[in-house]
Amino acid sequence: MTPRDLAAALLQKARDDAHVVRTLAADPKAADWVIGFHAQQAVEKSLKAVLTSAGIRTGRTHDLNHLLDLLTDSSIEVPEFLSEVASLGPYAVTWRYAELEVEEPLDRQVTLDLLDRVLAWCSGLLAND
* Cα–Cα dist 80/127, whole Å: 21
Look at residue 91 in the predicted model and tell me its pLDDT.
82
- Structural domain harbouring 91: 3-127
Look at residue 109 in the predicted model and tell me its pLDDT.
97
**Domains contained in the chain, number:** 1
Is 125 in contact with 10 (CB distance < 8 Å)? no
CATH of the domain at 42: 1.20.120.330
**Could you tell me which of 35, 37, 63, 34 has the C-alpha nearest to residue 48?**
63
3-state class of 2 per DSSP?
Answer: coil
* Cα–Cα dist 35/18, whole Å: 9
* Cα–Cα dist 95/99, whole Å: 7
Span 109-121, average pLDDT: 97
Please give the full DSSP string across 61-79, using - where no structure is assigned.
Answer: ---HHHHHHHHHHTTSPPP
Span 102-108, average pLDDT: 81
